Amino acid sequence: MHSSIRYALSVSLALSLFSGCAPKPVPEKIVAIDSTLPVLSMNGFISDITSSAFEWKPVEDTRVVGVYVYRNSPGTDDQKLHRIATIDSRFSTHFVDNDLKPNTQYQYRFSTFNKEGSESIGSETLTVATQPMIPPVSFFQSVGNMPRSAKLLWRPHPNGKISGYTIERQNVNDQTWSEIATINGRLNAEYIDHDLKDGQVYYYRIKAHAYDKLVTEPSEMTKVITKPLPPEIKNITATNDVPRAIILTWEASTLKDLSHYNIYRSTSPDGLFDYYVKLETTTFSDAIKEDGKFYFYKITAVDKDGLESPLSSVAIQGSTLSKPQPPIAYEGKILDKAVDLQWSKNDPRTVSYTVIKTTKTSWISKESVEINAITEPKFHDAAILPNTDYMYQIMSVDKDGIRSVPTKAIELSYEAK
């Protein structure tokens, strides 16, 4: 039978056998060391990026009920080893320590313990180095000048542990990064970010993530500027002297990928401008049936991607040619059973006149006829009957056939003798 030597030590004295520290040191208590308990015989260890695995020979001594694991905490002032785990079975021969720092050296020591809580002398101290962290994506670039979107490209990560990627975008206002997309699959190498603002600067970076939830450092940042809106249309003109039409002209857009122009029209400079017509030229004739009709116009340019310039900042007014002025000094009388009318020209545009002759055929009915192409400011009508009421009105007519409003009617008649 082996002799048994027991030592009652404070935890600080007992753990002074081990160098290092623990994230959460155990409360100070009395630890009994039983030198007769078997010292754990280690087979070896393997390490990964954030974990280390250990194996030891089976423990045959039936007094042993489990294994204590001690480890230091690199990067802290405490250089002691502290208990980080308790394995409650002597039949266990493996232990995995997780959540370690990549590329860091750790020290471990193991001891067996019995049901009274006494533990053996510690095993040999093992120095274990975790593997370096998976490097970030090495190639990451962007394609800019796209309409309200950005195309991101990268080289698939060569590490087989990678399961996908996370795309982050920076808010240029507060310089914060936010996750905008998760892409599953190591071999994916493209992402298009949509619904962006026109002519806006964006920054992107990418992180690779592994099957064991590891996430790499971000890649180099890439900058994107989205395609700006086409510039505003300039030098718009509209006519006011064309009969039954308004002709618009404007300066051609400088866009290299111009698709077309949109014309918007309103009856008020401050009103709602409705889309009116699409065309590819820099002139437009708006056919209008009314004389002296006013409209207001705004024009935009649209590129091949459908981006449209802002509406013209100033509404351009145009109008069709107004009616000529009616004659003045208009008078008429009956002499020798005939009507003689005369008037004065009131508009230099006038080239002829139209006389409207209205005959009252009964108490309730009338008949009107027009006598056109009168070139002199006078009219003689011998085709009248006694005891019949007649009304005469005169209209000025310009070279385009536009008529003035009629003059006030002159009523004439004579009685049979």
| pLDDT value, residue 30 | 64
Mean pLDDT of the chain: 91
Do the domains 328-412 and 6-129 match in fold?
yes
Distance (Å, whole) CA 58 – CA 90: 8
Q: What CATH code would you report for 237-319?
A: 2.60.40.10
* Backbone Cα Rg of the chain: 50
Dump pLDDT digits (tens) for 308-361.
999 988 999 999 999 999 999 999 999 999 999 999 999 999 999 999 999 998
Q: Residue range 108-129: average pLDDT?
A: 96
Q: What CATH code would you report for 140-225?
A: 2.60.40.10
Dump pLDDT digits (tens) for 7-51.
333 333 333 333 333 344 445 456 789 999 999 999 999 999 999
- Cβ(389)–Cβ(413) under 8 Å? yes
Homologous superfamily in CATH for domain 328-412: Immunoglobulins (2.60.40.10)
| pLDDT value, residue 362 | 87
Dump pLDDT digits (tens) for 258-300.
999 999 999 999 989 999 999 999 999 999 999 999 999 999 9
Give the percent of the chain with pLDDT over 70. Answer: 93
Q: What CATH code would you report for 6-129?
A: 2.60.40.10
Residues with Cβ within 8 Å of residue 271, at least 6 apart in sequence: 296
Domain positions in the chain are 6-129, 140-225, 237-319, 328-412
Dump pLDDT digits (tens) for 153-188.
999 999 999 999 999 999 777 789 999 999 999 999
Q: Which residue has the higher pLDDT, 12 or 413?
A: 413
CA dist 358 → 47, 206, 284 (Å):
114, 88, 42
